[in-house]
């Protein structure tokens, strides 16, 4: 008997005798999850397919009613943002791997080919499955040797947002990017359907400026913080129409840190975790969702206010990039003509920090080859002094296509913060215009 059938038969017996409860919040059991059967999720798909900014969903074939996927674990030359590339470990030529998308009830067969220089295994994080399909090398299966292809098969008997990741030499393989997201749409959806369904994986890396291999030994000083393995200004915006119901699914497989992801201009509700749906009565309104390491969070809101709304990790060092670390603190230092003198020897020299660090992004100073400046990218009004885990939610009233970046938001007249006039200062604050200092 195949191991999964054996495990499944035990589960059947357990279900019949009431030992094994149905998954919390599901309200029903799936006694048919032990083997291939009818595929209720396959025909009419009453769901909005996922949108993966800077990524994609994994194509599949249907063979005898089974959704067949193929993941290839391999080294990939990956670009974090224009200017910084590194040799990472991903799947199917991408970092991170493509999103596995299915419908609750689908029977899936996932082949995993190992093209890494060392053994691996793939774990399906959060998914209820037979023990032998859990993907923990050594514990539940033999490791997949370089050149080998293993077969995993199980039925998705839950819906939700899950993850997959290497579960062998985890510290190295995950630090190099061996991970991806899994989205299982409900078979019987309840509540309003999302018009836009975005998926993000959060991660943190140590890539020393000027090098091209992420360092898996790092425990504290991560200097490349990513949304779907991209760092702003390398992150694609989320484009939505005014009035869209937006779902954002966020997973975190960073080595060490949790990320509080903050959305401007809106409050959302946390509707699900990788443990299941959150009961409506327990959905608190929030503007920031903390996504702990090894967890997913789904948030939902209706995008009813047009604009270019920032969404970013609220840890201020997580919206920095490589050059924001290990530099001397020069705030308050009066450099006098030091720069002028130094430039005679080093034409690009510039003392950092007389005005904070905001001058580091656009100063045009030579940064080491293959590295990113400390922060940012050009915005509509000025330089944006955030990088790393930062992107923009673009909400538009008139939108031709979700696939096109609609450009910067054209604010209605009189709705942009601007310099105060002498008349306004006098009228509201009683201040006379002072002469320049």
**Which residues contact Cu ion (rule: CB under 5 A)?**
259, 313, 315, 318
Least separation in angstroms between residue 358's CB and Cu ion is 20
Q: Shortest Cβ distance from residue 204 to Cu ion (Å)?
A: 7
Q: How far is the CB of 257 from Cu ion (least distance, A)?
A: 6
By beta-carbon proximity to Cu ion, the closer residue of 86 and 261 is 261
DSSP 255: S
SS (H, E, C) 159-225: CEEEEEEECCCHHHHHHCCCEEEEEEECCCCCCCCCCEEEEEEEEEECCCCCCCCCCCCCCCCCCEE
Rounded to a whole number of angstroms, the minimum distance from the CB of residue 254 to Cu ion is 8
Separation CA 149–CA 185 (nearest Å): 27
**DSSP-based three-state secondary structure for 279:** coil
Nearest to 23 by CA among 273, 364, 292, 378: 273
**What DSSP character marks residue 59?**
P
Taken in order 105, 8, 149, 143, is the CA torsion positive or negative? positive
By beta-carbon proximity to Cu ion, the closer residue of 168 and 259 is 259
Considering the complex, state which of residue 105 and residue 233 has its C-beta at the smaller distance from Cu ion. Answer: 233
**Other C-beta atoms lying within 10 Å of the C-beta of residue 195:** 16
Q: Which is nearer to Cu ion, 71 or 175 (CB)?
A: 175
The closest of 263, 254, 238 to 295, measured between CA atoms, is: 254
Residues whose CB is less than 8 angstroms from the CB of residue 190 and which lie 6 or more positions away in sequence, other chains included: none
Cβ of residue 149: shortest distance to Cu ion, in angstroms? 36
Side-chain-side CA neighbours of residue 221 (13 Å): 11
Complex with Cu ion: residue 181 or 313, whichever CB lies closer: 313
Q: How far is the CB of 388 from Cu ion (least distance, A)?
A: 8
Q: Any residues with CB less than 8 A from the CB of 29 and at least 6 apart, and which?
A: 15, 22
Q: Which is nearer to Cu ion, 54 or 92 (CB)?
A: 54
Q: Which among 266, 263, 354 has a CA at the least distance from the CA of 312?
A: 263
Is 65:41 a contact under the CB 8 Å cutoff?
no
Q: Nearest approach, Cβ of 315 to Cu ion (angstroms)?
A: 4
Please identify, using beta-carbon distances, which residue of 272 and 319 lies nearer to Cu ion. Answer: 319
Q: How far is the CB of 111 from Cu ion (least distance, A)?
A: 34
Task: Please say which residue, 34 or 389, places its beta carbon nearer to Cu ion.
Answer: 389
């Amino acid at each position: 008997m195949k191991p999964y059938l054996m495990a499944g038969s035990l589960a059947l017996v357990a279900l019949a005798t009431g030992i094994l409860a149905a998954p919390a919040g599901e309200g029903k059991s799936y006694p048919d999850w032990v083997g291939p059967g009818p595929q209720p999720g396959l025909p009419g798909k009453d769901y909005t397919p996922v949108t993966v900014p800077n990524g994609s969903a994994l194509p599949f074939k249907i063979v005898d009613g089974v959704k067949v996927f193929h993941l290839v674990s391999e080294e990939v030359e990956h670009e974090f943002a224009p200017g910084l590339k590194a040799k990472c470990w991903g799947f199917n030529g991408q970092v991170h791997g493509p999103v596995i998308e299915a419908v609750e009830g689908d029977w899936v067969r996932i082949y995993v080919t190992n093209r890494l220089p060392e053994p691996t295994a793939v774990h399906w994080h959060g998914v209820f499955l037979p023990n032998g399909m859990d993907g923990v090398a050594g514990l539940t299966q033999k490791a997949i040797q370089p050149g080998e292809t293993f077969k995993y098969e199980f039925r998705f008997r839950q819906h939700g947002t899950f993850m997959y990741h290497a579960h062998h030499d985890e510290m190295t393989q995950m630090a190099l990017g061996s991970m991806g997201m899994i989205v299982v749409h409900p078979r019987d959806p309840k509540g309003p359907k999302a018009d836009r369904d975005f998926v993000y994986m959060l991660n943190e890396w140590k890539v020393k400026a000027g090098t091209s291999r992420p360092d898996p030994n790092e425990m504290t000083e991560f200097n490349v913080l990513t949304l779907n393995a991209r760092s702003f200004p390398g992150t694609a915006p989320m484009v939505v129409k005014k009035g869209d119901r937006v779902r954002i699914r966020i997973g975190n497989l960073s080595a060490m840190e949790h990320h509080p992801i903050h959305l401007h201009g809106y409050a959302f509700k946390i509707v699900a975790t990788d443990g299941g749906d959150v009961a409506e009565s327990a959905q608190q309104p929030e503007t920031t969702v903390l996504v702990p390491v090894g967890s997913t969070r789904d948030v939902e809101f209706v995008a009813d206010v047009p604009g270019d709304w920032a969404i970013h990790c609220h840890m201020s060092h997580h919206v920095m990039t490589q050059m924001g670390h290990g530099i001397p603190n020069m705030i308050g230092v009066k450099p006098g003509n030091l720069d002028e003198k130094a430039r005679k020897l080093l034409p690009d020299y510039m003392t950092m920090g007389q005005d904070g660090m905001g001058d580091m992004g656009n100063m045009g100073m030579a940064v080491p080859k293959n590295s990113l400046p400390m922060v940012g990218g050009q915005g509509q009004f000025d330089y944006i002094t955030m990088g790393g885990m930062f992107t923009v939610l673009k909400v538009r009233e008139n939108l031709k296509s979700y696939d096109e970046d609609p450009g910067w938001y054209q604010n209605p007249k009189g709705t942009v913060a601007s310099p105060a006039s002498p008349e306004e200062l006098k009228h509201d604050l009683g201040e006379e215009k002072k002469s320049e200092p």
